[in-house]
Structure 1
Amino acid sequence: MAKLVQLRWVGDPDGGGLSRRDRASGNFHAYLPDPLMTRPVTLTADTAADVVDAEVAMTRLDKEAKALVETEALSRLLLRAEAIASSRIEGLEIGARRLLRAEAARELEGEIADLTAAEVLANIDAMAVATGAIGNGEAITGEVLLEIHRRLLAGTRLSHHGGQLRGVQNWIGGSSFNPCAAEFVPPPPEHVAELMRDLIEFCNRDDLPAVVQAAIAHAQFETIHPFVDGNGRTGRALIHLVLRRRGVVERSVAPVSLILATWSDSYIDGLERFRYTGRADSAEALEGLNIWVARFAAACARAAEDAASFEERASGLEAQWRTRLAPVRAGSALDLLLKKLVGAPILTVATAAALAGRSFPAANTAVTRLVDAGILRQLTVGRRNRAFECPEVIGAFTDLERRMASPGGDTRVSAPERPVPRRATP
């Protein structure tokens, strides 16, 4: 049975510079959840319907998406937004244009002068491990989660904790120095390894709908809070692992975390309701599970809807470009590059040649036509490298991110719930 365990915290009465409250000793309660493999999963009709809607929306997006999977650029922008929304670097106003330029500089020169962008790119690299680590039907392992966590903390002051389950008590809220007034205290460290083994076993089941499995796995991970730091980012990466393993999303990045971050109060309340005390088959436990799964499913459906709106806008952009450039000869470097441009918002002539599969001179001619039409704009990347950006694509992606930050789906109607990049300027 899930229960609260009373423990004793021994403070440091001589702690220099700390308040009496922070250095005090006291009792606190840690939450010890039931294993998932023995927890019954019974969905109400409404929750089951929400789950079906979510899976249909995400599967359709994954099959029909073109812009979001055409190249790595836009997928990495979604990962960038997810990394910021689910980490302690949350709130950095680093928009798509700034990040794309920094990444281009890294590719061209091997280094980045923008330290903030470098930090965000490091988080994206770690998130990218999650999206590519597991394929359809492959087993999720504890080693994969540890590797994701190791990469998340690499280069930080806590890098020595990377890839290691915690051996100390942690907590959420209250004082930074003791758990006596914490909002939530995860299980004592001696229970973490066994709970994680159970979680991994649960993630490899095939008898539950994928969205239900991802929702429960994420909530249990956040409950265990198995690491000293980086739990939020790793727990959100686990969502991607489960959905990819079950084949719901194989080509695209489902920006579920962005919606959960937007619905932060509902998200936190849902996690709290997922946790119960007593029997796993009690009315409280079953109601809490349904509330959480329904909210998670709604976030999945909203994420797919918002991503689909970007796909529609991207398709419209290409049609507009072709009208402005007409005539465009079929099979020409320009024709082929237009098909790839939405997925490559910043490129060089060499990149354009590779994308179109044409010679450097042919690509250079195509890029020149795009610049003359105002579709591309020349810029300098790094110290001296010439590159070109597509402001309309960057603007479209910025609008997508702002839309996902608004509870109502439009920041002009309902203000964003978290910091987002400013609207792109022409």
Structure 2
Amino acid sequence: MQLPAHGHEVRPWSPGRRQGSKADRTLDRIDVAIPPRIADVEYVAPADIAAVLESAAIAVARLEAGFGEHLAPLGDFLLRSESVASSKIESVNAGWHAFGRALAGGKATDDAKSQLAAVHALTAMVDAAGRREITVDDLLEAHRLLMAPDFYTAHDSGRIRTVQNWIGGSDYTPIGALYVPPPPELVPGLLDDLIQFANRSDLPIVAQAAIAHAQFESIHPFTDGNGRIGRALISAILRRRQLTRRITVPLASVMLADTNKYFAQLNSYRTGAVDTFVDYLARAAKHASNASEDSARALAELPERWTLRARPRANSADEALISQLLDAPILNADSAQAITGTSDASTYRALGRLTDSGVLEVISASKRHQIWAATDVLAELDALSRAIGRRVLDIP
């Protein structure tokens, strides 16, 4: 199926500051893209892509039913994996140890704070979509949460842009840009149209999520953070349509494994080749779900492995901590004591024994405010990302 290709209009341009090259300083016109309206689009997939969509939906449903229902910590695990991978696409990469410190409230780098903010934004989006229809306000709130740690962008957080933006090219003007989104006065109407499309219930679920994501990225409604919010919209639609109830499909890991292919697929959508992007995202959902099943099995085996490694006494603080490590793989002294229900001294001794046995690792530099991590869980996060990356080779 083809959508109309994005239109283009020439608009006047007035450089805000006399900076950049001579071409930047003398630019007086720009070519902006005008995405088509999609609220009432009837999408019918060709037979081959319909088969891929069906297999993707089955893979997601199998992950949800097979592990989402019976392995409660998998939901948080996959949500964090998706948020971190989505951040890495934007070159925000703190590393799992730094991210763990941010998660536990420790001293954190700017990248770690940004990755944690992406978790909060994605959580807000999928939680809201699980309760009711998606709204523009949901996008604005997620954007506010995402941009909150950045002092320089806080002014624009949670607000639709009122300026022209562009992707690539010059820092000062859209000269040489890879893509110039629609002018700001068109953005509110385009977003309302997109939200109508996102709340329909008569479309193949994965296709709907794919088209909504590509349309969002074409609108580019914020001055920054569009990629992460647009990818969160995919998960929100899967949740609203109840294909997922507890888990988040780690689609961003597929995109991260080959960003050139991901951006090329978005560009193909702008030419009207909607089937191409739908096929790409459906295959991504299938591969990410299958890889996540392997990670779920690995996670389910960890408590027994920890017990064999640490050999805790029955009803001890050590045993209590091990039983909760999948739910809370990052701990500080307060959260650990809340789990053990024992004294400070008893909790610290348990943490020390689990550290000595290799179940936990201290990941903070501060002696006064220590943070512990179940490193096997962090290692599995990396293993999932690598496994998904290997499967990307199968996506045309």
| TM-score (normalised: structure 2) | 0.85
Question: What SS does the corresponding residue of 2:10 show, helix, strand or coil?
Answer: strand
Whole-angstrom CA distance in 2 between matches of 1:325 and 1:225 = 51
Aligned-pair RMSD on alpha carbons?
Answer: 3.1
Query: In structure 2, which of residues 265, 283, 298 is the aligned counterpart of residue 298 of structure 1?
Result: 283
Q: Is the 8 A contact 1:67 1:314 kept in 2?
A: no
Classify 1:206/1:100 alpha carbon distance in 2 versus 1 (closer, same or farther; 3 Å). Answer: same
Classify 1:402/1:195 alpha carbon distance in 2 versus 1 (closer, same or farther; 3 Å). Answer: same
Q: Does 1:120 align with 2:123?
A: no
Q: Which residue of 1 aligns with 2:308?
A: 323
Shift of residue 308, structure 1, vs aligned partner: 1.8
Instruction: Determine what percentage of the aligned residue pairs are the same residue.
Output: 33
Whole-angstrom CA distance in 1 between matches of 2:108 and 2:380 = 26
Cα deviations across residues 349-400 of structure 1 (Å, max 9, x unaligned)? 65345446x5448766755653453323456564503443323222222222
Q: Is the 8 A contact 1:73 1:344 kept in 2?
A: no
Query: In structure 1, which of residues 399, 402, 406 is the aligned counterpart of residue 383 of structure 2?
Result: 399
Whole-angstrom CA distance in 2 between matches of 1:175 and 1:350 = 49
Whole-angstrom CA distance in 2 between matches of 1:162 and 1:337 = 38
Shift of residue 179, structure 1, vs aligned partner: 2.6
Q: Which residue of 2 aligns with 1:81?
A: 84
- Aligned-partner residue type, residue 279 of structure 2: A
Query: In structure 2, which of residues 146, 150, 160 is the aligned counterpart of residue 152 of structure 1?
Result: 146
Q: Which moved more, 1:202-211 or 1:120-129?
A: 120-129
Q: Which moved more, 1:320-329 or 1:27-36?
A: 320-329
Q: Does 1:131 align with 2:151?
A: no
Classify 1:201/1:105 alpha carbon distance in 2 versus 1 (closer, same or farther; 3 Å). Answer: closer
**Which runs of 5 or more residues in structure 1 are unaligned?**
107-111, 277-284, 415-426
Q: Is the 8 A contact 1:85 1:258 kept in 2?
A: no
Alignment of 1:242-281 (within 5 A): 242-276=237-271
Q: Which residue of 1 aligns with 2:202?
A: 207
Question: What SS does the corresponding residue of 1:31 show, helix, strand or coil?
Answer: strand
Whole-angstrom CA distance in 2 between matches of 1:341 and 1:220 = 40
Classify 1:67/1:170 alpha carbon distance in 2 versus 1 (closer, same or farther; 3 Å). Answer: farther
Shift of residue 292, structure 1, vs aligned partner: 0.7
**Which runs of 5 or more residues in structure 2 are unaligned?**
none
| TM-score (normalised: structure 1) | 0.80
- Aligned-partner residue type, residue 131 of structure 1: V
Cα deviations across residues 60-94 of structure 1 (Å, max 9, x unaligned)? 2223147974288635632541342343xx153x2
Q: Which residue of 2 aligns with 1:310?
A: 295
Question: What SS does the corresponding residue of 2:39 show, helix, strand or coil?
Answer: helix
Shift of residue 336, structure 1, vs aligned partner: 4.9
Q: Does 1:140 align with 2:149?
A: no
- Aligned-partner residue type, residue 43 of structure 1: A
Q: Which residue of 2 aligns with 1:417?
A: none
Whole-angstrom CA distance in 2 between matches of 1:65 and 1:157 = 38
Whole-angstrom CA distance in 2 between matches of 1:206 and 1:379 = 46
Shift of residue 332, structure 1, vs aligned partner: 6.3
Whole-angstrom CA distance in 1 between matches of 2:98 and 2:119 = 14
Classify 1:332/1:252 alpha carbon distance in 2 versus 1 (closer, same or farther; 3 Å). Answer: farther
Whole-angstrom CA distance in 2 between matches of 1:380 and 1:180 = 45
Cα deviations across residues 163-206 of structure 1 (Å, max 9, x unaligned)? 22223322222223333432222223222211111111111111
Whole-angstrom CA distance in 2 between matches of 1:320 and 1:172 = 48
Classify 1:4/1:181 alpha carbon distance in 2 versus 1 (closer, same or farther; 3 Å). Answer: farther
Shift of residue 143, structure 1, vs aligned partner: 0.8
Shift of residue 208, structure 1, vs aligned partner: 1.1
Whole-angstrom CA distance in 2 between matches of 1:3 and 1:389 = 48
Q: Which moved more, 1:334-343 or 1:263-272?
A: 334-343
Q: Which residue of 2 aligns with 1:101?
A: 101
Q: Which moved more, 1:334-343 or 1:141-150?
A: 334-343
Alignment of 1:24-423 (within 5 A): 24-63=26-65, 64-65=67-68, 69-70=72-73, 74=77, 77-87=80-90, 90-92=91-93, 94-106=94-106, 112=107, 114-135=109-130, 138-154=132-148, 155-276=150-271, 285=272, 288-325=273-310, 329=314, 334-348=318-332, 350-355=334-339, 358-360=341-343, 367=351, 370-378=354-362, 382=366, 384-404=368-388, 406-408=389-391
